[in-house]
Amino acid sequence: MVRLAFKPASTVISGGIKRRRIRWALRQRVLYLAMAAYGKPAVALRVLRQLTALKRTLRGSMVNQKWIRAGGRHFWNINTPGFPSVAFDRFVQSELNRIIPMSIPTNRYQSLIFSITSRCPLQCRHCYEWSNLRAEETLSLAELQAILAKFQAMGVSNIQLSGGEPLCRFDDLIALLKSAQPDTDFWILTSGFGLDKQKAAALQKAGLTGVVISLDHWDEAEHNRFRGNDLAFSWVWEAAQNAADAGLAVALSLCVTREFLSEENLLKYLHLAKAKGIGLVRILEPRAVGHYEGQDIEMSEAQLNLLDSFFLKANSDPAFADLPILDYLAYYQRRTGCFGGDRYLYVDSLGNLHACPFCQRSAGNALQGSLEESLAKLKTHGCLKYPAALDRTFNR
């Protein structure tokens, strides 16, 4: 059995003076950035009012009630850079620029999901890279660095390194992080495979911000079955503890299947995460791509409503104050459309460009032909499930 006593990876801040101080400091920073960008207070305030109005339209009465603290910064989801930081400032500037263009350079993309390997020791049911998995790598380290450099030159605040299993390519992962330009948040999307204390410390030293570790059930046997490996559950907690000890932010990622979805299971999952000291949980919906291609795995409207309701309660209801933050992007995608190809994009382990990992319709290759033409094409592709509302602005 896996031990339950863990040093907290990231404490949830949900009330009191600390929460008020964070909110005040964040608002003051956003106001300062708007004032610095536009010079005129009236213009800056008009932009901020428009941004606030749109957020209220999407989020209703739900306000940001929780943060986690890791590495001296505060996080409330995986896609937004930690506050305070240069990466956070650039993120905000880019969102302001979408309302009224400013004279200073801003990010062209907010997030990049970058698959750096085609290798993986697991057989995960929902793997979106399933058709690309193989024993040999397709892209060399130099090619990975070239792709990363291209997108950092365009401006990016948040890069999530995935696979396959990115830890299968550990030496190249370290080299990639060390060669990157600073002032970008880097996460790895991992099963936890082989993340011992030495590797966690090396990743933090190389510039990693945090780890998102996949845990697809609170029950050990069920998670192992979903992942196709009897050690998968133990990898999660060993990796979480080692990452926390190294000072990295730690989050869990849950693919919510129809079989799993119930309020009881969601509560058990959050309580387990709390017991392990994890303060942030990302929810993914299953999509019929990769290993799930051609399967009937979509959730019903009633199930989606249940998930929406739980998401709102988990982040706003005082009864959930000490439980982890839920990061559930699809909640917003259903209301505003997906920004895949516009604010964020996905590069698979072959170097092909997609709107996101779950909308696999390549618009070209990051190393071949005109990247600008491919990106223009990608923007028109958008999301296959949630058509993009490209004229809408939303600070995700």
Q: Kindly state whether residue 145 falls inside one of the protein's structural domains.
A: yes
Confidence tier at 114 by pLDDT (50, 70, 90) = very high
Question: Rounded distance, CA 108 to CA 100, Å?
Answer: 15
Q: Which of 67, 97, 127 is the last residue of a domain?
A: 97
* 340 confidence band (pLDDT: 50, 70, 90): confident
Average pLDDT over residues 251-274: 94
Residue 386 domain flag: no
Q: Which of 105-109, 186-190, 291-295 has the lowest mean pLDDT?
A: 291-295
Q: What is the pLDDT of residue 393?
A: 40
173 and 303 co-located in one domain: yes
Q: Is the model's pLDDT at 168 over the cut of 60? A: yes
- One domain, residues 132 and 49: no
158 in the same domain as 27: no
Pairing of strands 158-162, 111-115: parallel
Confidence band of 270 (pLDDT split at 50, 70, 90):
very high
The helix, strand and coil proportions of the chain, stated in percent and rounded to the nearest 5, come to 45, 15, 40
Q: State whether 93 and 138 are in the same domain.
A: no
Q: Is residue 2 part of a domain?
A: no
The answer on 226 and 165 residing in a single domain is yes
Tell me: the pLDDT tens digits for 198-240? 999 999 999 999 999 999 999 999 999 888 888 899 999 999 9
The reported pLDDT for the residue numbered 390 is: 39
Share of the chain above pLDDT 90, in %: 53
pTM for the predicted model, two decimal places: 0.90
105 found inside a domain? no
Average pLDDT over residues 128-137: 63
Q: In the predicted model, is pLDDT for residue 71 greater than 50?
A: yes
DSSP string, 7-35: --SS-EE-SHHHHHHHHHHHHHHHHHHHH
Same domain, yes or no, for 38 and 128? no
pLDDT in tens, 314-335: 988 888 988 999 999 888 877 7
Q: What percent of the chain has pLDDT over 70?
A: 85
**DSSP secondary-structure letter at 234?**
H
171 and 283 both lie in a single domain: yes
Kindly state whether residues 343 and 263 are assigned to the same domain: yes
What pLDDT score does 286 carry? 77
Q: What is the pLDDT of residue 343?
A: 83
Q: Examine the pLDDT at 3 and tell me if it is beyond 60.
A: no
d(CA 233, CA 167): 16
CB 263 within 8 A of CB 158: no
- Enter the tokens of residue 360: 């696999």
With a cut of 80, say whether residue 348 has pLDDT above it: yes
Instruction: Examine the domain organization and report whether 146 and 279 are in the same domain.
Output: yes
pLDDT at 388: 53
* 194 and 223 housed in the same domain: yes
Sign of torsion over alpha carbons 74, 336, 161, 178: negative
- Judge whether 394 lies within some domain: no
Q: Are residues 253 and 332 in the same domain?
A: yes
Please give the pLDDT value at position 389.
46
Domain boundary among 48, 64, 97: 97
Q: How far apart are CA 80 and CA 233, in angstroms?
A: 28
Confidence of residue 382 (pLDDT cuts 50, 70, 90): low
Identify the helix (H) or strand (E) that includes residue 152.
helix 141-154
Final residue belonging to a domain, choices 41, 72, 97: 97
Domains: count for the chain: 2
pLDDT above 70 (res 4): no
Tell me if 185 is assigned to some domain: yes
Summary mean pLDDT of the chain: 85
Give which of 9, 8, 10, 15 is closest to 66, Cα–Cα: 15
CATH label of the domain that carries residue 356? 3.20.20.70
- State which amino acid sits at residue 151: F
Does 127 lie in the same domain as 40? no
Q: Which residues pair with 213 in a beta bridge?
A: 190, 252
Strand partners, 158: 111, 185
Domain of 93, in residue numbers:
12-97
